[in-house]
Structure 1
Amino acid sequence: MDELNTLRNMRASLAEPEPVRLAAVRSRVTAGFGERGRRVRLPRTGVRLVAVGALAVTAAAGITVAQNLGGVDEDGHRRSGIPGLPAGPVASAAELTHRASLKAATEPAWNPRPDQWTYVKELLATSSAGTAGSLSGRPDKRTTVERWIRVDGMRRATMENGGRLENAPTTPMDRSAVPRPDYTYLRSLPTDPKALLALVYQQSGQTPLGRDAGAFTTIQDLMSRSVLPPKLRAALYGALAAIPGVRFARDVTDAAGRHGVALYRIDEGYLRTDVIIDPTTFAYLGHRAIAVKDHTSTGGDGTARFTKGQKLGWSAQLGTAIVDRPGTRG
């Protein structure tokens, strides 16, 4: 199968009205993520709630990888910082990438068995005013989504708000699409930021908002749904920082209330999307989409109005692990 042509043909077969252009970008670059069962739907207004990640550390030689945002010492106590890294706050995207790379170099490689599973727990902000993948009002509600994907990509499972575990095989299209979050695929990606970004541009192709917006969304979604090998995580930060239009922010809060620095883009002149990162541990903390000015979008599916400061998407990743079976959490 020619994967790139398949994605391009899927993209070319649809013609969306103006208000759903950004939703189209997100839906196509995440086509390979292949979840079945319930999921947060893409909004017609062009914003999607996406998951966000956190730092995983090796916990046992089996392997089980458990989440701890601050890191732990040999006694299981949380560290306040990372030995050997420069002190002081992160001040730029370049410094963030450099420090994350130094940290990744100190972390052991993970070699899970093909029959093991990756686990990601997400917290998604929703609104009592209604939601279709974007926030229709104040983010006053929360939904927890847990996902398991077999390391070899052959099966997946999901659970929402602690409910029923849905377990199903992946399809041949799921397994051939790019990008995708199974660990076998992730280990095949380059860990040099320039080479990684070149591959992302190739795999995400051209989108209605341009290749830079498509590449940003591809990387953002890949981080949000995956248990990332340490060196790949650092390379993804470097690739994000190298995309034209990406900027650095010092203090952004994820949906769980954690503060971090952010790499962000502004699309269509009003929609700012933040990838939030812990500046001490370099964990991937969360995502936020926010209107930076008033905006009205009109098309065949109606009119959507956004006000400056309105949150359109907000999430946090609360844990990741490598486990032996779906339904377990490390």
Structure 2
Amino acid sequence: MNNSAHRRRPHLLYPGSPDITSGPARGVALLSLPATALAGALVFTLSGGDGTSTPATGAHQPNSASATLNRIAVAAKAIDETPVKHGQYVYVESLTRSDEGTFNGPVYLGALHRRQVWMAQDPAAVTWTGWIRETGKGTPMPRELIPVASSSPVPAGIDRPTYRWLASLPTDPDKLLTLLYSRTRVFEGESEEQAVFSKIGELVGETIMPPANTAAFYRAAAKIPGVREIPDAVDAAGRHGIAGTREDASSATRDEWIFDKDSLAFLGSRSYMTNGAGKEAGSVTLFGTSAIMRRTVVDQHGEAPAKTDG
């Protein structure tokens, strides 16, 4: 089974970007949550695929996650948050390991390294969508601040999710799920459900959004068949937590979103190739892992926030 397209799903930081960014982009997307929606608010107990959804409508039969996710929505709406201004940047610092193998070759997991990104919030279409700096063994252009550019202007939207665009999305989970099914690109060999599950992870990754929108994304995720809980999972920093996960037989991949067992704050993510062609039944291969270490808003790209922030 050829699952290389999904395995190297482009990161949101790199829509139409030049080859300079292709190394970091091949790995796991950073499946993360806004810090404003995490402090003591998130409970993640998704059930194992006992709900059903219809891609065209987002219709769903309730599963055991529904009540918990409704409580998340209530808690999230009570959290104070400051909107991100148009001229500011969403800053995320993480530890990450990515697949550095050739496109159709075996997985080669690179060394753990530090990654900093600054996401532009301009409401107009832009060709420079952000900046990235990577530090550590094997990183291309280590410590250099690299602009992430597109050959044509990229508007705010599903491929460049600014705070303003995310805030404009419906907070009704069924309407949001319908929108996601209509706008999410499905890669060859990937199921529509997994594409949307991955897109939700990407859309809450390396962003900040209003808590009500965060709640809506996770209510929508609970309506996708096959989402379940893993009682113990480990992020790239070695922190243990519980995980929400979905495995896709079509693309032979599995994504995990990891949360602290006590505070329930988001920790990081892991992505796997599962038993496809040439693999033993039940085997899995890790091809990306991350740990979110800092998330905030800054006024200048290349600016690292003070250590006392957050």
Q: Name the TM-score, length of structure 1 as normaliser.
A: 0.69
Measured in 2, the distance between the counterparts of 1:320 and 1:30 equals: 16
Query: Aligned residue for 1:286?
Result: 268
- What's the offset of the Cα at 1:245? 2.0
Measured in 2, the distance between the counterparts of 1:142 and 1:33 equals: 24
Are positions 1:103 and 2:75 aligned together?
A: yes
Residue in structure 2 matching 1:247, options 225, 228, 248? 228
Residue in structure 1 matching 2:242, options 257, 261, 265? 261
Query: Aligned residue for 2:308?
Result: none
Residue in structure 1 matching 2:23, options 32, 36, 40? 40
The residue type paired with residue 158 of structure 1 is I
The residue type paired with residue 313 of structure 1 is G
Paired residue total: 274
Query: Aligned residue for 1:49?
Result: 28
The residue type paired with residue 120 of structure 2 is R
CA contact (8 A) 2:13 2:148 kept: no
Measured in 2, the distance between the counterparts of 1:230 and 1:35 equals: 30
The residue type paired with residue 283 of structure 1 is A
Residue in structure 1 matching 2:147, options 167, 171, 177? 167
Query: Aligned residue for 2:61?
Result: none
The residue type paired with residue 179 of structure 1 is D
Measured in 2, the distance between the counterparts of 1:164 and 1:233 equals: 32
Residue in structure 1 matching 2:158, options 165, 178, 182? 178
| Richer in helix (by share) | 1
Q: Name the TM-score, length of structure 2 as normaliser.
A: 0.73
Residues 168/252 of structure 1: CA separation in 2 closer, same or farther (3 Å cut):
closer
Unaligned stretches of 5+ in structure 2? 48-64, 136-141, 306-310
CA contact (8 A) 1:52 1:284 kept: no
Residues 281/55 of structure 1: CA separation in 2 closer, same or farther (3 Å cut):
farther
Residues 258/199 of structure 1: CA separation in 2 closer, same or farther (3 Å cut):
same
Measured in 1, the distance between the counterparts of 2:3 and 2:206 equals: 26
CA contact (8 A) 2:31 2:269 kept: yes
Measured in 2, the distance between the counterparts of 1:224 and 1:135 equals: 26
Percent identical:
26
Measured in 1, the distance between the counterparts of 2:118 and 2:259 equals: 23
Equivalences for 1:292-307 in 2 at 5 Å?
A: 292=274, 294-296=275-277
RMSD, aligned α-carbons: 3.6
Measured in 2, the distance between the counterparts of 1:132 and 1:207 equals: 18
The residue type paired with residue 108 of structure 1 is D
Query: Aligned residue for 1:276?
Result: 258
Query: Aligned residue for 1:10?
Result: none
**CA deviation digits over 1:175-228, x for unaligned, max 9?**
265232322221221222222111111111554323212111211122223223
Unaligned stretches of 5+ in structure 1? 1-16, 59-68, 72-80, 298-303
Residues 33/169 of structure 1: CA separation in 2 closer, same or farther (3 Å cut):
closer
Residues 263/170 of structure 1: CA separation in 2 closer, same or farther (3 Å cut):
same
